[in-house]
Amino acid sequence: MSGTIRRVGVVGGGQMGAGIAEVCARAGLDTVVCEVDTIAARAARDRVAGSLERAVGRGRLAEADAQAALGRLVFTGSLEDLADRQLVVEAVVENADAKTEVFAALDKIVEDPGAVLATNTSSLPVMRLGRATGRADRVVGLHFFNPVPVLPLVEVVSSLHTSADTVAAAGDFAAGTLGKTVIHARDRAGFVVNALLIPYLLSAVRMAESGFATAADIDAGMERGCAHPMGPLRLADLIGLDTVAAIADSLYDEFREPLHAPPPLLRRMVEAGLLGRKTGRGFHVYDRD
């Protein structure tokens, strides 16, 4: 790939994919968001439009800039529309089979052999996804954090196959174009942030599960006693309890440490569809947007 990245694709228009698409569009980039079908694509557009509207309402973005950003976005139900992209960020469900299928398809569709194919995975091996393609040297992790338009960090994760040029291009894009703070991580489950964060969240779940303290008191203890901006259970709700469980499974599969094993309560809540903020109920109850 030569030149600055100006044409970006995002696969997945959920909470994370919509956030990534929004920051790309706000940075002036031609951005195409691909969902599973046209209905999901329309929902993704509504998600981004709602986020931009909230940013305007909070005084963080001018109305004209919000409209300009929305005008740079195209929403589609076909991966074929990503053929001319210089960078594609995969942001589908945290499932190895689903992500591998996306990368195998992108390898056939994206025309530029030098294009960067990135994954927003929270914990899955980047090398496994790269090997689903014929260009593993161009596959890298670009792990954004939720909410993407607000949180400044991106982890750039290189596998044993990722080339130095790819790492540099990904880092330059995240820092120089999007204005994010970049840290580099090796291709191990959880990378830097989740390798530290998830055991902490799981400890809070175990504390609630045992009846040692209520969710409200656990969160208040960490917020008021340790100056954390958000308690661990409220943070788990924000991340999504299904995502927390998936990351925990990846960490346990790699390290086999008991502190990484998802507690039974977490698994039951996921089975019950009590996934946190996105479903209106997790360890706390939320108003649905």
Q: pLDDT tens, 16-44? A: 999 999 999 999 999 999 999 999 999 99
DSSP class of residue 280? T
Q: What is the mean pLDDT of residues 127-146?
A: 97
Q: What is the mean pLDDT of residues 57-77?
A: 96
What band does 289 get if pLDDT is binned at 50, 70 and 90? low
Q: Which pLDDT score is estimated for 269?
A: 98
Catalytic residue among 122, 158, 159, 250: 122
> What is the helix (H) or strand (E) element at residue 89, kind and residue range?
strand 87-90
Q: Give yes or no for residue 196 having a pLDDT over 60.
A: yes
- 205 neighbors 263 (Cβ within 8 angstroms): yes
Q: What is the mean pLDDT of residues 62-78?
A: 97
Active site residue 123: no
| Residue 19: closest CA among 50, 60, 57 | 50
Q: Which pLDDT score is estimated for 276?
A: 97
| pTM of this structure | 0.90
Q: Is 7-186 a domain of CATH 3.40.50.720?
A: yes
Which residues face 118 on adjacent strands?
89, 140
Residue 239, CA distances (Å) to 153, 180, 231 in order: 15, 20, 12
Alpha-carbon distance of 91 to 281, in angstroms, equals 23
Catalytic residue among 123, 159, 194, 250: 194
| Residue 283: closest CA among 247, 240, 248 | 240
What band does 123 get if pLDDT is binned at 50, 70 and 90? confident
Q: Give yes or no for residue 273 having a pLDDT over 60.
A: yes
pLDDT-above-70 percentage for the chain: 99
Q: What is the mean pLDDT of residues 215-242?
A: 97
Q: Give yes or no for residue 3 having a pLDDT over 90.
A: no
Q: Give yes or no for residue 115 having a pLDDT over 60.
A: yes
Backbone angles phi, psi at 213, to 5 degrees: -160, 160
Active site residue 143: yes
pLDDT in tens, 145-191: 989 999 999 999 999 999 999 999 999 999 999 999 999 999 999 99
pLDDT in tens, 245-259: 999 999 999 999 999
pLDDT-above-90 percentage for the chain: 96
Alpha-carbon distance of 23 to 2, in angstroms, equals 22
**Both tokens of residue 209?**
């599960």
Identify the CATH number of the domain defined by range 194-279: 1.10.1040.10
Q: Looking at the chain, which residues constitute the CATH 1.10.1040.10 domain(s)?
A: 194-279
Alpha-carbon distance of 227 to 223, in angstroms, equals 5
- On average, the pLDDT of the chain sits at 96
> What is the helix (H) or strand (E) element at residue 52, kind and residue range?
helix 38-57
Catalytic residue among 90, 94, 155, 260: 155
Q: Looking at the chain, which residues constitute the CATH 3.40.50.720 domain(s)?
A: 7-186
Active site residue 122: yes
Q: Give yes or no for residue 1 having a pLDDT over 60.
A: no
Catalytic residue among 143, 159, 161, 260: 143
